[in-house]
Structure 1
Amino acid sequence: MRLNQITYTDAKPVDGYGPGFFRIGGEVFEGAVLTGPAGPTNWGGYEDVQPLLDLADEIDVLFIGTGKDMTHIPQSLRTQLESAGVGVEIMNSPAACRTYNVLLSEGRRIALALISV
């Protein structure tokens, strides 16, 4: 078996999560969080659109974790992101964390917006 070391870019992987928090790059964030090329930061949720739009030139896809269960995001949010040229993938937060980590390890241009579980 061949083992490869995973090397991340400046973005940090999701190390873990639990009720009300995420651990990203060893740092704990409570509540909703946004992470991508510039690293993790607290996020205001679906109404806090501008930080997501600011990523448009840096990413191809934004994964949105909708909490414990997969739910729809507001249509206006999806429309604004897609109009800015950002692909949007919706899934529950645990699946979004796993998918983000895998694609981050491949060097993809991605970001992750999470609602806590």
Structure 2
Amino acid sequence: MGKRGEPLEVRDAHYPSMVQIDAYGNGGFRFADMSHRGSLMCVPSGVYGWEPKTFEEITDEALEQVLQESDGIEVLLIGAGDELKPFPEARKAPFREKGIMVDSMSTGAAVRTYNVLLGEDRAVAAVFIAVENT
């Protein structure tokens, strides 16, 4: 309960800018002196907690925000979890139409690639499935 018996307001996790990912594993991520348990989406408007827990849960709806912010994105990295899982070619079409290259890899490789591209001021977005082990 909040003040005066009011219910607490739970907000979606959101950090309002793109930042490097400092660490991953143990089911979450560390960035900007904070930690987040669960998967992440990094787009031009910031870093968001992201619902999918497995690669198979990455639906078109789960990626909708990437397409909505497509003006600021050239590359979408998909961190698929513990291992590389290819993103189906047919599902890449809406991204290609907006000039976005999609590349799927393990979450560890995606985090490292994201950090390099972000450090080079590249127009990158990423989604990362949380992993337990690093």
- TM-score normalised over the length of structure 1: 0.81
Q: Which residue of 1 aligns with 2:87?
A: 73
CA contact (8 A) 1:66 1:92 kept: yes
Tell me whether 1:95 sits opposite 2:113 in the alignment.
no
**Cα RMSD after superposing both structures:** 1.6
Match of 1:37 among 13, 36, 44: 44
Contiguous gaps of at least 5 residues in structure 1: 1-9
Contiguous gaps of at least 5 residues in structure 2: 1-16, 53-57
Larger deviation, residues 86-95 vs 23-32:
23-32
Q: Hey, which of these two has a bigger chunk of helix by percent?
A: 2
Q: Which residue of 2 aligns with 1:86?
A: 100
- Percent identity over the alignment? 33
Q: Which residue of 1 aligns with 2:9?
A: none
Q: What is the distance in 2 between the residues matched to 1:32 and 1:77?
A: 20
Q: Which residue of 1 aligns with 2:28?
A: 21
Q: Which residue of 1 aligns with 2:129?
A: 115
Which runs of structure 1 show a deviation greater than 3 angstroms over 4 or more consecutive aligned residues? Answer: 74-77
1:36 is displaced (CA, Å) by: 3.0
